Structure 1
């Protein structure tokens, strides 16, 4: 690959890195331009570790012909199991262990090598293989993201040749920089969604980070609390406490997200969420509560089969005006909701155990429903809530919804409409 197309490709990578081109498009564009410049690439894989609660990293593929492989993939932990064995047999692991940045292999003479992928690549007609590890400095490392890995193959019988390898040595680090830039944006979005919530993360990523900047909104508020969690935590082993809390948090968060809600905060075993969809937020909250019960049933069946403790949960629903935005100190902010309505919904949820009901709603919530929705909620009485100046009527789901299949079917159709 001559100097002029090489410089053009470097410039293209810089421009696309600045504009935020996705990683798979970066790799595809890079390989297409390499081939147009005379480099006989046949296959490429690049990958980079990330910060994610489930995946260890993400990778991207390019081939010179159609395959049934996806052009992007995610991988879990390589510290144990089959993934660990595959990683330890890779050229990248060998290079890291031996302090190498580059490794070239003649695929026509690889029968004695015990590297993963090598024989498969040779069987598919690839003739020459070269892999690179580009390490980040300490200031450029995020969690486990400390290297950019890549390998490249050609079907050309004489291999890449020194001039092609020289071009790859110049170009791959620039590709790595562009991929790293895109990966860091993905990490920021992932961390935002995981720790702040979906909509809240978007607000922060759009620049709403100034202290004290809030907006007054009307929202349906959800507060759920796992039933008897303290007593259960005292009975089970320490290593079971976090899986127990995670299982029941997953059941509620999945239900809230499926119904279009926003999880704002996890408070021990409690979940604070809100629904803001105009005209349908209250029905969406009821839909989330209904899905939550189904999730709990499935979860309890699984946990019981494993000999693990099971429980249920209380849910309080309320509607009111809240302040939504940045609250805190100059160097530690929380993007959340505050206001009397937030205190009220937690108090409503805490009343569930007193009246032996798994769902309680405020009168404001019930009054905001249409006529059909109001018919499914019945009064449990008037109560003084701790820390709230005035007593109020609380409502729960009509027992006929659980006892009568016909009523249950009508309620489900109401929630789905």
Structure 2
């Protein structure tokens, strides 16, 4: 591979990284360009750890033998079980343990295939195998993102030439930097979505982070919390509390998302969410759809947890609709992207009344009035109540038990 071709490919990698090309596309185009320039890559993979509540990282693959294979796949934790054993037998782990950055095996020319993956490559007719670790140092590390790992092999009868290896040593760090750039963008998206919610996270990434800037919107509002949560925490083993919260939060959040809502805040065992639509009626129907999905999920969840002899509960839901301010609230050092306004406080008060009237869901008269006649007919009044902190008493409704 000529120096000019290497320079052109480095330039392409820099521009691809700046343009935000996805990692799998970067790897695919890179390998195709290498082959076009005479560097005979037959198969390649690269992976990078990430910062994610479930996945440890993502692996990207390319091959030229027309065998179908996922171009990108997330992988789980490698610190326990079979995954840990497999990782500890890999050449990458060997390099980490020895402090090395490069390992080569000319497996078509008598050198040992001393790792399982290298033996597999030899069995598939590969003649040369080369791996790199390009470490990420110091404050540039985020979460488990400590390096960009890659492997390169060829079926060429003569293997990689000295020039091929020199070219890869020059090119792969640039590829690694472009992949790191794309990975960091994904990490940013994951973090803001996980901690702020989908819509709020998108708005923050779009640059809407100015303190005090809020949008006045109409929305259906949801506040839910767990029945008898305090009593459960006082009687259940401490190790059961977080799994319980996770199980019921997952049921609520998944139901809200599936119905087109956005979760804005988790407050202990409570969940604050909003639903938007072309009009109030559509937003309220989405919120009711989420409540029905939640009810079904909690029933299945309780059946499973009872079978495991673990504590069970149910979810109280308060629903309201109104005008709120949606945006950044807080200090110069700490902002929260959330909703504020009297309607939010009223929703919380409505949810808290579920305990007093022993109903799983309570709906404001304003919310009920926005529903089409067929859905309004499924509601029954539970009476008029003076809600704490709300200036006027209002009639509350619940779902007719005969329709559930």
**In 1, are the aligned partners of 2:361 and 2:399 still within 8 Å (CA)?**
yes
Of 286, 309, 328, the match for 1:284: 286
Aligned residue pairs, count: 402
- Counterpart in 2 of 1:303? 305
**In 2, are the aligned partners of 1:110 and 1:118 still within 8 Å (CA)?**
no
CA distance in 1, matches of 2:144, 2:243: 24
Cα shift readout 1:90-117 (whole Å, capped 9, x = no counterpart): 1110001001010001223689654231
**In 1, are the aligned partners of 2:211 and 2:332 still within 8 Å (CA)?**
yes
- Counterpart in 1 of 2:97? 97
In structure 2, runs of 5+ residues without a counterpart are none
**Equivalent residues in 2 for 1:18-97, closer than 5 Å:** 18-97=18-97
Asked whether 1:334 is paired with 2:336, we answer yes
CA distance in 2, matches of 1:396, 1:134: 60
**In 1, are the aligned partners of 2:381 and 2:397 still within 8 Å (CA)?**
yes
How far the C-alpha of 1:234 sits from its partner, in A, is 1.6
CA distance in 2, matches of 1:107, 1:82: 27
CA distance in 1, matches of 2:109, 2:89: 18
**In 1, are the aligned partners of 2:16 and 2:26 still within 8 Å (CA)?**
yes
- Counterpart in 2 of 1:132? 132
Runs in 1 of length 4+ with deviation above 6 angstroms?
none
CA distance in 2, matches of 1:115, 1:315: 55
How far the C-alpha of 1:331 sits from its partner, in A, is 1.2
How far the C-alpha of 1:12 sits from its partner, in A, is 0.4
In structure 1, runs of 5+ residues without a counterpart are 403-417
Partner-residue secondary structure (3-state), 1:256: helix
How far the C-alpha of 1:394 sits from its partner, in A, is 0.3
- Counterpart in 2 of 1:349? 351
Cα shift readout 1:113-159 (whole Å, capped 9, x = no counterpart): 54231221111111110000000120211011010000000001322
CA distance in 2, matches of 1:301, 1:157: 61
Partner-residue secondary structure (3-state), 2:42: strand
Cα shift readout 1:61-113 (whole Å, capped 9, x = no counterpart): 00012123101011000000111011101111000100101000122368965
- Counterpart in 1 of 2:199? 199
**In 2, are the aligned partners of 1:86 and 1:116 still within 8 Å (CA)?**
no
Partner-residue secondary structure (3-state), 1:321: strand
Cα shift readout 1:188-239 (whole Å, capped 9, x = no counterpart): 0000110000011110010000000101101100001111111112212221
**In 1, are the aligned partners of 2:251 and 2:297 still within 8 Å (CA)?**
yes
How far the C-alpha of 1:161 sits from its partner, in A, is 1.6
**In 2, are the aligned partners of 1:111 and 1:119 still within 8 Å (CA)?**
no
Question: Normalized against structure 2, the TM-score is what?
Answer: 0.98
Partner-residue secondary structure (3-state), 1:51: coil
**In 1, are the aligned partners of 2:105 and 2:112 still within 8 Å (CA)?**
no
Question: Normalized against structure 1, the TM-score is what?
Answer: 0.95
Cα-Cα RMSD: 1.1
CA distance in 1, matches of 2:82, 2:288: 43
**Equivalent residues in 2 for 1:114-193, closer than 5 Å:** 114-193=114-193
